[in-house]
Amino acid sequence: MNASEVKINIIGAGISGLIAAHLLESYGFKPVIWEASDRPGGRMKTDLIDGYQLDRGFQVLLDQYPSLKKYLNFDELELQKLLPGVLIIKDNKRYSFGDPLRSFSSFWSSAFSPVAKLSDLSKLFRLRNDLASKDLRDHFKGERTTSLEFLKSYGFSDQVIENFFRPFFSGIFLENELKTSSEMLQFVYALFSKGNAVIPKAGIEAVPKQLAEKLKDTKLHFNTKIDRIEEGKLIINGVDQIASDFTIIACDPSKIVPQLANDSVLWNRLDTFYYEVDKDVFNKPILGLETNDDFINHLFYPQSVSVVSRGEKELISVNVVKRKNESTDNLKRHIEDYLDQKLGLSEARLIKQYEIEKALPRFERMQYDLSAEESMLSENVYVIGDQQINPSQNAAILSAEAVVSAIVDKEMNKQFKQ
């Protein structure tokens, strides 16, 4: 049997599923992707509403992720850089706070703000240098503590933890207690220190769209939900059976693998509200971090960078990590009061709200990468995606690489024995 005759089915057209298909094609395979939604992308989707370009949740790329640089054409994506640093919103005032090594002017604004103590700035220097000297894999080999425990043990004051680290990493980890492993904090902070947070000009969905357009010998089925997976076949619509020599699950496996029904992935959620407003009060492409609000964590003006589709007015995204049990209506009223009273945006019009219950997988233990054996459910069924390793686009790609390599090895061994 040659490679083109091997039946390989991929469940899910997110970034890991698309990378798996790309790699399989490079070895002569012709995989089939089954996607429940109407287009590729997984959690990386962008909608066009009233002329505004809306990512489903606040999402950026880190341009120093090794795997992204390996598979994406950054020039085609027309990546738009956010300014290094953040805008801290504290007691109705805004303070620039950044990496002094990236921008000397940010040293002075940071040094004379109530965001941090002067001693914290020297510790930020040291942390940056400590992390920059490590290989990315090494961030996952140290002592396992929570992010909060790590920051305290490093000597950072409560002042800078509450004003900067907590809101900043709450926006990344989507949990505000900083319980996420310090391995992930060190990994992400190292990448921010070395590079930039960027957004494709056409929105975050441009990433999976670029990957999908490169596929030549992969068949994609959309709006098709797989009921369950059994050894050697997929079940669709309860009765239709699709033969499968290898099955790659690039989604939550608990929904389609009967024996994993009670072993579902835990997720952190995000609520993102997009409002049309009259002005951009930040006046630059920078992330705003709210330190005092009961619900709001971070804010961003998506049109502060170049976009393909620009609405008639300004657009602001308001992101809620600590929703608690607040109703959507109460949350909406709270946000609109905040925009009016804190930012002077009295004529805010809600364009779209996204209640994303499965925004980011939650982990007790993380790794940089994973062997194919650790991704196996059975002899010819594998699971890939960031939910397998750590919550990052880099991890989603690495998991796909490991599994495709294993499938290729199995087929080569089979051919050799014949």
Summarised one tens digit per residue, pLDDT across range 106-165 is 655 666 688 999 899 999 989 999 998 899 899 988 788 999 999 999 999 999 999 999
- 98 has pLDDT over 90: no
Place 332 in a pLDDT band, splitting at 50, 70 and 90: very high
Summarised one tens digit per residue, pLDDT across range 9-63 is 999 999 999 999 999 999 999 999 999 999 999 999 999 999 999 999 999 999 9
Per-residue tokens: 139: 């961030």
* Beta pairing class for 233-236 and 226-230: antiparallel
Query: Alpha carbon of 247 to those of 61, 79, 402: distances in Å?
Result: 29, 34, 14
Name the CA dihedral angle for 242, 243, 245, 249, rounded to a multiple of 10 degrees: 20
List, in sequence order, every residue forming a beta bridge with 170; answer none if it has no partner: none
Q: Which fold has domain 52-200+267-361?
A: Polyamine Oxidase; Chain A, domain 2 (3.90.660)
Residue type at 22?
H
3-42+205-262+365-417 classified as CATH 3.50.50.60? yes
Mean pLDDT of 55-82: 97
| pLDDT for the residue 1 | 54
- 276 has pLDDT over 90: yes
Nearest residue to 147 via CA among 122, 135, 129, 164 = 164
**Nearby residues of 413 by Cβ (< 8 Å), 6 or more positions away:** none
Mean pLDDT of 329-358: 96
Instruction: Kindly list the domain boundaries of the chain, sorted by start residue.
Output: 3-42+205-262+365-417, 52-200+267-361
Per-residue tokens: 50: 């009233």
